[in-house]
Amino acid sequence: MPVAAINGINVYYEDHGSGPALVLTHGYSSSSRAWQGQIPAVTQRYRLITWDMRGHGQTDSPEEQSAYSEAATVEDLYQLLKLLGVERAVIGGLSLGGYMSLAFHLAHPEMVQALLLCDTGPGYRNDQARATWNETAFRTGARYEERGLDALGRSAEVEAARSTHRSAAGLARAARGMLAQFDARVINSLETVTVPTLLVVGANDQAYLNPIDYMEKKIPGARKVVVADAGHSVNIDQPEVFNQAVLEFLDSVASK
């Protein structure tokens, strides 16, 4: 099992293929297992790195709530890429993983060749909207504390990861410290993004159609792909369409 000892924890990752690197981060309560359908297609021409965020899958779940944050997640990814010798990569993710990809770009723009943002949003400028989001995140954390891993949902991305999770307590702390948001830094950074950006969303993912549209308007030169007959787990619902869009994007980035 490939594990990187970084930032005081063991981080599970997978490193497939060779060539220019694509890094994919899963959503909340999912894991790197959700990207299995991308490995055969992407690794024909590119290197694909996936990993489990802290509290998720086979990565450690620290006991301190303070160990879970946007900053800690970004630092985990930074140290993982340094360990793997990756100086620059296409950084992408789905849902929470997409948000963390934007946060990574904000912290380490020199390492981001391009962005791939799937079924995700950039957070909130409005304090009340952020507070409402956080209430849901905190309730999610409480549900894992009360019910353990039985609290896992039934979405495609969660089902793909169900067997990998080791700690309901880790997922609870991740909800409070990583899923919850505490400022507007990420959404305020959108207009400063200068790298090629592909936005992908399932046509049936009603909660994220507007956030994707918003990012298309705010990120200079961003391209959007809406995938028919797909929901929040666009890469699992329509893997062939998703993979084709991603490969075309990677080819366009590699040619520059």
- How many domains in the chain? 1
Which CATH number belongs to the domain containing residue 130 in this structure? 3.40.50.1820
Q: Which domain holds residue 48?
A: 3-254
CA dihedral 105, 109, 111, 112 (to 10 degrees): 60
125 vs 204: CA distance, rounded Å = 25
Q: Is the pTM of this model over 0.85?
A: yes
**Predicted pLDDT at 1:** 67
Which tens digit of pLDDT belongs to each residue from 48-107?
Answer: 999 999 999 999 999 999 999 999 999 999 999 999 999 999 999 999 999 999 999 999
CB atoms within 10 A of CB 182: 11
Rg for the chain, CA atoms, rounded: 17
The answer to which of 41-45, 162-166, 181-185, 246-250 has the lowest mean pLDDT is 162-166
DSSP structure string for 131-151: HHHHHHHHHHHHHHHHHGGGG
5 vs 19: CA distance, rounded Å = 24
Q: In which band, very low, low, confident or very high, does the pLDDT at 141 lie, cut at 50, 70 and 90?
A: very high
Which tens digit of pLDDT belongs to each residue from 222-232?
Answer: 999 999 999 99
Q: Tokens 């954390």 — which residue?
A: 141
